[in-house]
């Protein structure tokens, strides 16, 4: 398999222009590497360090170290490109979902596929997310449906039918079994997974009538951000389910949103070919990265808070350094113990 070549920033000095921000902290971003080769489709950072899982247009999945730009591991087997990827909180599992609606769960240590979930979604997989206890996986399909899967058994334990509301980006709270989904009407829904399946516990509504196409939590579980068709991103108080403010500046859909590990910086990718960094508290723009993917760059911060990864206008993965680093300085919550039934994930459903 051909290796991804590296184009150093010394050869192409692209900088991110800084917006003036009176009360916002100074954060600078610098392009340090561009990985030329195969078009990246989706990113998922590991829970610690500088590793990022990247799905590629050639149907492979790679774990890349943003610090060195080297490929650490490669996963193969998808019949079609995967547009969804998620890493379990302890780093032991990687889930990927492709355009054939197949979901694969991989052992990140061995690189082996340990579970296949297939036969329920009728269209490609758009988003995947593990819960904190890593015994549940939610899949958002392009068929306007969200499924909840048991990792130990491979069985479906919940389902949400959009019924025309257009569900996007279902993602678990980092600390609980609550999860959110972006919709076109209203802009977001909050669910709690119960023994009887998902139950709606609240709604996130902004003034944008067009709705949202991406959604995320901060690592602390206190804020939610939506990326909206209007070109805005909206910050919500997760506990009160109350709108805190709007990030304004994009001129087209905001297709991807992410918080830094410490929650002090928000990143938005848009089909206006820019990525922007913001300070969620003041709603100030911190940085503007131009010449990004025309379909909207995915965005992800590494867990050490030192790097931001995007996709440039030439469809190559770009790695930016952050100064200062945006690592989470708080003590990490105690992880739920791994269940002994995890080994049963070798059971497969469908092809």
Q: What is the pLDDT of residue 21?
A: 36
C-alpha 219/C-alpha 266 separation (Å) is 12
Give the Cα separation of 293 and 303 in Å (integer).
23
Question: In this structure, what CATH number is given to the domain that contains residue 81?
Answer: 2.130.10.10
Alpha carbon distances (Å) from 145 to 44, 152, 160, 162, 164: 21, 22, 6, 6, 10
Spacing of C-alpha 317 from chain mean position: 15
Edge-to-edge, what's the strand order for the sheet holding 113-117? 82-87, 93-98, 103-107, 113-117
Residue 21 domain flag? no
pLDDT at position 8 is: 34
Residue 78 lies in a domain: yes
Q: How many domains does the chain have?
A: 1
Q: What is the pLDDT of residues 298-347, one digit of tens each?
A: 999 999 999 999 999 999 999 999 999 999 977 544 444 344 334 333 33
CB-CB contact of 234 with 246 (8 Å): yes
The C-alpha R_g of the chain, in whole angstroms, comes to: 19
Residue 127 placed within a domain: yes
- Residue 224 resides in a domain: yes
pLDDT for 24 equals 53
Which residues of the chain fall below pLDDT 50? 1-23, 332-351
Q: What is the pLDDT of residue 3?
A: 38
The predicted structure's pLDDT at residue 208: 79
pLDDT at residue 25, rounded to an integer: 65
pLDDT digits (tens, 9 = 90+) for 274-295: 999 999 999 999 999 999 999 9
**135 inside domain:** yes
Residue 10, domain member (yes or no)? no
Contacts with 341 (C-beta within 8 Å, 6 or more apart), sequence order: 152, 153
- Domain membership of residue 278 (yes or no) is yes
- Domain region containing 68: 40-326
């Amino acid at each position: 398999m051909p290796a991804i070549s590296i184009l150093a920033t010394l050869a192409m000095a692209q900088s991110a222009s800084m917006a003036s921000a009176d009360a916002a902290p100074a954060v600078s971003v610098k392009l340090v590497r561009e990985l030329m080769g195969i078009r990246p489709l989706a990113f998922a950072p590991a829970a610690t360090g500088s590793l990022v899982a990247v799905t590629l247009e050639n149907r492979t999945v790679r774990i890349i170290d943003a610090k060195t730009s080297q490929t650490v591991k490669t996963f193969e087997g998808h019949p079609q490109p995967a547009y969804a990827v998620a890493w379990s909180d302890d780093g032991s599992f990687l889930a990927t979902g492709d355009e054939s609606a197949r979901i694969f769960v991989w052992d990140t240590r061995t690189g082996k596929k340990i579970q296949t979930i297939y036969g329920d979604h009728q269209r490609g997989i758009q988003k995947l997310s593990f819960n904190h206890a890593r015994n549940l996986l939610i899949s958002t399909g392009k068929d306007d449906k969200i499924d909840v899967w048991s990792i130990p058994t491979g069985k479906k334990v919940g389902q949400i039918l959009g019924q025309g509301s257009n569900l996007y980006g279902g993602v678990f709270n980092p600390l609980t079994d609550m999860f959110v989904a972006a919709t076109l009407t209203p802009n977001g829904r909050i669910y709690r997974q119960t023994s009887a399946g998902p139950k709606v516990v609240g709604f996130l509504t902004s003034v944008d009538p067009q709705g949202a196409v991406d959604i995320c939590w901060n690592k602390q579980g206190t804020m939610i951000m939506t990326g909206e068709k209007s070109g805005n991103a909206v910050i919500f108080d997760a506990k009160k389910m109350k709108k805190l403010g709007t990030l304004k500046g994009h001129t087209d859909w905001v297709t991807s949103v992410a918080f830094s590990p410490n929650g002090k910086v928000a990143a938005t990718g848009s089909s206006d070919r820019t990525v922007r960094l913001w300070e969620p508290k003041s709603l100030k723009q911190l940085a503007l990265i131009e010449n990004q993917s025309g379909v909207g760059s995915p965005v992800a911060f590494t867990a050490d808070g030192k790097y931001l990864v995007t996709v440039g206008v030439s469809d190559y993965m770009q790695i930016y350094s952050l100064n200062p680093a945006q690592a989470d300085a708080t003590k990490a919550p105690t992880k739920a113990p791994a269940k002994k039934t995890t080994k049963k994930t070798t059971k497969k459903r469908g092809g």
